[in-house]
Structure 1
């Protein structure tokens, strides 16, 4: 899938030289998924670079979650393949984390124990696991709540716990399915900023599904726009806006409107 000319136009306009692409971390080739006679994913082809933050947007019900579930092997593709580091995706052997829409902190573990859980599963030495967990808790602002249980903290804190737990294992690929969909706008912006800090600190490759166009423009290095079912890729837009992004800036508003128009007119 070729990138749209948005950033190319900006590079020419500003007289700057666009950076060369890194190696592909994820390569999707002819991905197709059917449920009986219902065609949901129709021949998807694209690549995600090492360390890239890709936001995926499209109409409600177009198959965004189906795509992520195929990546995690919850669904078996009808045709095509997904490669991570050049080999077929396999969450059992590859370091892949998935953050769902629902809050998934373990209620019987403290905040720190939740963040350390993945490291414990991977048999990381206790001292190293604790240091990594505390680093993540510091970034998301939960250090002083480390001994609290999930039932004692707010919804936004719960989502911070889940995000810190995912990044603590330093995953090579992080899949996020509308993790902030149930939060109000102030909490969402705060958590988005913390997410970007974690991403910049770890260099993790992130695929982030959202129905919120402003969120996609705020977070993504690239924005993939999907069509309605049967789902194909309409375009992938490079986002050249520097971090941190100002949602009131003219460039931000123009890009948000551009993505909105792509989704609006089918």
Structure 2
């Protein structure tokens, strides 16, 4: 298998005009220009122990980012500290320019190794990036560009939060505020679902959402809570930038104190037979309406 991979790499180097370096003592370098860690002697193909293949053990200080789009955007993000990249040969070729530009260490693995590390349900697309979590950001450090902020009231499903981040990146949202205790990890499923949005929209973790909304109010934000029982539709609610849209979890909605901290509550009117939306879909509709209302 090693001989076959080496032959493929040499063919690719020849095709792109590259030149293989002579072997030198110490860590080898692969065709992407990054150091390639030597496997431990105990490592073997098909081993069920992820650590035997060079993977780091999961910890709060380690973000596991997988999927081509999510990994590509992480490699392009100068704020993201990248450690090691594990990829199949096909995935490494697909991400080749971004790998070379970042200079991250690359380890060639098979899909089975990635499944053993991430779990059989992970749609990894042949690539896993081990990185450090992004630097923490405070509410007062939100850079006002579009004048739009999202605040999530205990939305815990990583698929929903990931989809919201992807939508937030598409609508140039300045930041997404989440609570520390009731929010998913900022990696794994969330990063994959966000499809790169995690690298473009700052996430602000707060201990107390009510206090964070107070601080947004002090900074001049109009705090608009999305509530199915709101007195008026979002289309008919007077809006003025900057705006913080506040969304609650499906089923529970906004908590009482969160509702009290909002300047106004607004609903999304549905003309069709279905009168409710998934929270990530509701977020997309609300952002589209709000951006249209705030446009000069």
TM-score range, shorter chain: under 0.3
Name which structure has the greater RCO, CA cutoff 8 Å, separation 6+: 1
With structure 2 as the length reference, what TM-score do the two structures score?
0.22
Q: Which has the larger radius of gyration?
A: 2
